[in-house]
A and B are shown apart, each in its own frame.
Chain A
């Protein structure tokens, strides 16, 4: 990465958040900031200014105010300038060296406002806070660029048209709103970690962005649930190099080379989880992180403490009674007590999960372990028909080949 690219990655979100606050308009702020970076590319040749953040902010602000003044003169938008005047002076009161106030919390709460569609919340967060381009986001979510561009335009025009406020919600709403911010962050992570469709299993750039967002949120707004979410993502992300082999094939948890797990991420995740559990009753993120931590503790698959995992799933199901949690619990039971007691638990979920490829795959695996090959084969075939990811399809194909061989 060049120096400017590094500064772009590190500063884009913070600069944009401050400019939106100053200018009261997403598009004007974004265009001005892009312009400032374009000027930096030519003007900084070789020498980066002492305070690049302040330089970029000052340049973007100048460009934006210039444009708004011209627009105001031509279109006679006096009100806009009157609105801008007090805000323009208020930045000087910032005690931070660069003079750029940190408004990223306002930005993320606005991007994750529940009045916006969830896919728009995700796209807007990645565009504004992470500085991903529309093309990059479209590629990550496997939609055409035009679709993603339209999604972003529609979200921004709703923010403007319906007057979604640019602010951190008041205390009474904070809990609920923070949980929707966290679910957007986790959605970004999951999209990267267990991509529902497409050629590769892990789109790591999205995982890295989600972790970066969680770190930023934690710094701006300490909260035990946030620690738990970050712990969960780190503990899962630690396995990324072991989850897919050199040929791009899926490697199951049991078969992964644990030496390839990222110890630093595991240690950080574990410490965050402990600090979160000390401060508050574990929520769903903490319990899911605790399950991941049990796996991380086992030096081999055989040494995994499955009874503890079953117990954590019980607590998770009490908080979050969904069929998918019940399915995972049944799989854990099959590991702790054998396939026979797990089969009725899995079969009980047939009605709600019959369209879910992992239900068929889990059932197939249990039937295979019970020696009921014919039924296992039928279930693997159903899983294969429903799976959207190429790597998962190849894995299921191999299993079918083994049973038929």
Chain B
């Protein structure tokens, strides 16, 4: 079964980190990626929400606005797509993501259409 692990974190936190602190955390993400190489199907970090654009089509008309879909205290900053036998296994992987310590990981099962 596949799950999307969405990493929500206050992106301001990253701005406050020193170079060695950033290197340390990036190293932890690297180690996480290696530890779960057999489980991770994909994943990316996202650029900050200041680069986000939201698009809607209403009555056939395209509306494009600056910024994320919703202003929230923690922002979507990255994701992993994993393959896990059940929710407990997915939760165990999510808990190992370095971002879980400062932010929150949302675990969403992937919908399958038969």
Chain A residues at the B interface, C-beta cutoff of 8 Å: 113, 115, 161-165, 169, 173
Contacts and interface: CB of A to CB of B under 8 A. Distances in A.
Given A163-B85, A169-B88, 6 more contacts: A115-B87, A162-B109, A164-B87, A164-B88, A165-B85, A165-B87
**Chain B contact residues, majority secondary structure:** mixed
Q: Which of B1, B91, B107 has the most CB of A within 10 A?
A: B91
19 contacts: A113-B87, A115-B87, A115-B91, A161-B109, A162-B107, A162-B109, A163-B1, A163-B85, A163-B86, A163-B87, A163-B109, A164-B86, A164-B87, A164-B88, A165-B85, A165-B86, A165-B88, A169-B88, A173-B88
A165 B109 CA distance: 13
B88 A162 contact: no
Contacts of B91: 115
Contacts of A113: 87
B1 to A, nearest CB: 5
Contacts of B107: 162
Nearest to B91: A115
Which interface class (under 10, 10 to 19, 20 to 34, 35 or more) fits B? under 10
A165 B91 CA distance: 12
Nearest 7 A/B pairs, CB to CB: A165-B86, A163-B86, A162-B109, A162-B87, A164-B87, A163-B1, A163-B87
Nearest to A177: B88
Nearest to A172: B92
Contacts of B85: 163, 165
Q: Main secondary structure on chain A at its contact with chain B?
A: loop
Interface of B: 1, 85-88, 91, 107, 109
A142 B46 CA distance: 46
B11 to A, nearest CB: 27
A24 to B, nearest CB: 12
Central interface residue in B85, B86, B88, B107, by most chain A CB within 10 Å: B88
Contacts of B88: 164-165, 169, 173
Contacts of A162: 87, 107, 109
Contacts of B1: 163
Contacts of A161: 109
B107 to A, nearest CB: 8
A163 B85 CA distance: 8
A121 to B, nearest CB: 15
A161 B108 CA distance: 10
B110 to A, nearest CB: 10
- Which of B85, B87, B91, B109: most chain A Cβ within 10 A? B87
A161 B87 CA distance: 10
A161 B3 CA distance: 11
A169 B89 CA distance: 11
A124 to B, nearest CB: 15
Contacts of A165: 85-88
A313 to B, nearest CB: 35
Contacts of B86: 163-165
Q: Which of A115, A161, A162, A164 has the most CB of B within 10 A?
A: A162
Nearest to A114: B91
Contacts of A169: 88
A398 B109 CA distance: 56
B8 to A, nearest CB: 17
A163 B88 CA distance: 8
B105 to A, nearest CB: 13
A129 B27 CA distance: 47
Contacts of B87: 113, 115, 162-165
Contacts of A115: 87, 91
A402 to B, nearest CB: 51
Nearest to A79: B114
Nearest to B107: A162
Nearest to A164: B87
A165 B85 CA distance: 9
In the complex, which of the residues A113, A161, A163, A165 has the most CB atoms of chain B within 10 Å of its own CB atom?
Answer: A163
Nearest to A163: B86
A123 to B, nearest CB: 19
